[in-house]
Amino acid sequence: MLDRLDIKLLHALQEDGRLTNQELADRVGLSASQCSRRRAKLESDGVITGYRAVVAPEKTGFDLTVFIDVTLNTHNPDNSRHFASLVARIPEVREACSLTGEMDYRLKILVRSLSELGEIINERLLPDASVQTVKSTIVIKQLKEAPGVPLELL
């Protein structure tokens, strides 16, 4: 169970994963050694699963964010596994979720151009035997991005 200090520590690390134990201690109100122990426990318990750099897609040429809704031909475990394997081999797919409702999956992809989007849809997804329909939606403007967990609600 997370206590108030764990939540403060997690909130600070979500804001800046590069904080040293001393900087973290200053923000949380603990000693650096206590922060180090708590951080290590949160890591070993699987609460903290990693640290990453957040890369701006537009600065690396990936100017288009697209959501692709996919409906499968049949709904059985083998077809689902096959589709999951297909998605895992497409590096432009950054997120993939199985959903309830009209579509079976929603993919979030990053591409550099409409032709790359067309190649993913027409040469990788639609020809696959597991896929029945594909619908794409291009993001015009991202209004909010809040990675991590809403710790302020705990």
Same domain, 94 and 38: no
Q: Which CATH number belongs to the domain containing residue 134 in this structure? A: 3.30.70.920
CA torsion sign for 10, 14, 15, 21 is positive
Same domain, 36 and 69: no
* DSSP-H helix ranges across 4-143: 4-15, 21-28, 32-44, 77-88, 114-119
Token pair for residue 1?
């169970």
Kindly state whether residue 133 falls inside one of the protein's structural domains. yes
pLDDT tens string for the chain (154 positions)?
899 999 999 999 999 999 999 999 999 999 999 999 999 999 999 999 999 999 999 999 999 999 999 999 999 999 999 999 999 999 999 999 999 999 999 999 999 999 999 999 999 999 999 999 999 999 999 999 998 999 999 9
pLDDT at 5: 96
Nearest to 101 by CA among 122, 128, 70, 129: 70
Contact indicator for 71, 23 with CB cutoff of 8 Å: no
Same domain, 31 and 62: no
Contact indicator for 151, 7 with CB cutoff of 8 Å: yes
Contact indicator for 109, 62 with CB cutoff of 8 Å: no
pLDDT at 147: 86
Contact indicator for 10, 48 with CB cutoff of 8 Å: yes
